[in-house]
Structure 1
Amino acid sequence: MTTAPQTPTAPLPPAADAAMARLELGLTAVRYRDAADHLRELAASADFDGCLAAQDEMRMCRCRLEQAGRLDLIEVA
């Protein structure tokens, strides 16, 4: 098995790095809202194990957004 040679890459410029961080936080907010929607569906069908998994996903996303000071993205702030 062969591997591709390592190619050095330059660090992102600060503006690009900030844009990537905003994008990641936006995606985290989408994941939170998707998990919340899924949680409602699971609760309606009495899938309690699924509810726990959805709540874990929501909690992880909320913690990440809280650490970044961006709870406003999920309308909690």
Structure 2
Amino acid sequence: MRALLYEAACVVLRRCTRPCPLREWGQALSERLGSKRAIIAVARKLAVILHHVWRDGTSFQWSIPAMIA
């Protein structure tokens, strides 16, 4: 599961062209801390988002800032 979250975070930060608050947050973090730490942080945020989606039964919405603080 960790490897899949890491891969998903890489895709969000590197390949995804769609504007997303998670991607913007990760890129700002990458400039500050480095790309490897930013990928790990985005992977953790994705895990938290997935947990909330599974628990609530909601769907992910790209345009809404998803617990980014």
Max radius of gyration: which structure?
1
- TM-score normalised per structure 1: 0.36
Name the TM-score, length of structure 2 as normaliser.
Answer: 0.39
Does 1 or 2 have the higher relative contact order (CA < 8 Å, sep 6+)?
2
